[in-house]
Every structure is written in C-alpha cells, then in structure tokens.
Amino acid sequence: MVEEAPSHQLMGYDRAITMFSPEGRLLQVEYAKKTVRQGSTAIGVVCKDGVLLVSDKRILEKLVVPEAIEKIWQIDDHIGATAAGILSDARVLIERAQLKAQQHKVTYDSPVDVLSIVKDICDIKQICTQSGGLRPFGVSILIAGVDQTGPKLFETDPTGIFFQFKATAIGEGETEIVDILNKKYKENMTIEEALKLCIWALARVVPDKFSAERIDTAYIKIDEKQFKKFSKEKIEKIVKEVKKK
C-alpha cells in the first residue's frame, strides 16, 4: 500500500522556497533542517581555558584516505568551524568567512570578532530562504573562537538564525549528545576534560566501527588565540581509554 503525501505537499506548497503553507511554514527550509539531522555529528564546547570542536568524519568507504577528509576548518587564527549536513554548502560559506576575516584584518589591522563572522554567514543563509530560484543551504555550522570578550560558540541553522551556546551538538547524534552534555557539562571544564567527554559521547551514539580515524578535533586557547588540532596519537589514546569503560 502506497502512503499518501501530506495535503500541504499535494497542494504544491513545497515547490517554491518563497511559498508559505497555510500553516505558515516554509517547507523547503524544513527539508533543509532534516538534511542537517542526517549529517555526521559535530560537537562544540566552551571551556574555562578556551573552546573545543569535535566532529565525526563518518568514513563509509575503507579505501578512503581518512586524513583527506576535513570536517573542521580554520576561519582565522582565532576562529574555527565545523558543520553537519551538505558539506559542499559548508565549504562555500566557510570560504566566504575566511575572506571576510582577511578583509577585516587588512582594513582595520585587528582580528575580526566571532559574532561578525556568524552574522555574515547567517545573512547569506537568510537570503536563500526568501529568494526565488534559490534553495536553502542544507547545513548547520558551529562557529567557535576566542576574541576580546573571551571564548564563544555559536550555532547557525538553515533558516539563518543563530544562537550562542556553552555546549551543543548538531547532526545525526544531536539529541543523544545534547542529553549527555546537559548532564555532564561543567563550566569549569578544561579543554582536555571536554575532549574526553566529547569522544566518550561520540562512542555511544556513532554506529559500529568507531575509531580514532573517524574523529576530527580542533581547539583555541584563551591565552594563545591560535587554532590548533590535537595529534592523532592523543586521539587514539583517548579512544582506547573510552573503549575500556
């Protein structure tokens, strides 16, 4: 028996990005949100000594070179980002953010603040929810950095809205990992402690064959304001510890 499509789809309200359904919904934007929830998991955590990003590369083919898959990007010396959803959409937005950061530094001779980058990305996302002939960006991006006012973590979604978080997750494991963060996150956590918590959480929500090769990480410390990544050896050590628990 073939299931009937919802009435709002039969009426064609999901055919154009600019068309509201009778319930006041933009259906193509909602579809973009569903795309994000099917993407690989990414986590961001604000710590007392900086900010941390951890992401699952979700390697599905054994012939793929793990090191060639990038899930966390550097926007500026003091800002990084990760994403869930259509990563080609994320790449376009990240490259735009990198350019804005460079332009700000050249123009004002000072590093750009995190919020300016977030607003610029969200402006582009919002335009794509009200312009005919376009489609929404099918990606949510976590943007983390350290500026003059301390460590910051923001989440942007396909609608163009953004929120600031102490800790959050996006992607397929979002619900489970947010529950774990709600129970175990502490504001006085160090980056090292947060890294162990994130890997422990990923190991519980990611499907079989969880390994260090699947994990991409980056952090920015308050005193250094430098985007850095943890070594492969350190990640492997923590994964082994997590698997023993």
DSSP string computed for 122-139:
HHHHHHTTSSTT-----E
Rg (the chain; Cα; Å): 19
What residues does 83 pair with on adjacent strands? 141
42-47 sheet: strands from edge to edge: 167-170, 42-47, 50-56, 215-221, 227-228
Q: What is 27-55+65-244's CATH number?
A: 3.60.20.10
Backbone angles phi, psi at 221, to 5 degrees: -90, 150
Confidence (pLDDT) at 71: 94
Say whether pTM exceeds 0.75: yes
pLDDT by 10-residue block (mean), the chain, 245 residues: 52 80 88 94 97 92 87 97 96 97 97 97 95 91 96 97 98 95 96 96 83 94 96 93 78
| Contact criterion met (CB below 8 Å) for 42 and 71 | yes
User: Would you kindly state where each structural domain of the chain is located, as residue ranges?
Assistant: 27-55+65-244
Per-residue burial over 109-145, b if 16 or more Cβ lie within 10 Å, else e, is: eebbbbbebbebbbeebbebbeeeeeebbbbbbbbbb
Confidence (pLDDT) at 31: 93
DSSP helix, strand, coil percent of the chain (3-state; round to 5): 40, 25, 40
Confidence (pLDDT) at 3: 52
Residue with tokens 């304001």: 225
Confidence (pLDDT) at 156: 97
162-164 sheet: strands from edge to edge: 72-76, 79-85, 139-147, 150-156, 162-164
- Tell me how far apart the alpha carbons of residues 25 and 19 are, in angstroms, rounded to a whole number: 8
Confidence (pLDDT) at 233: 93
Backbone angles phi, psi at 105, to 5 degrees: -65, -40
- Tell me how far apart the alpha carbons of residues 202 and 196 are, in angstroms, rounded to a whole number: 10
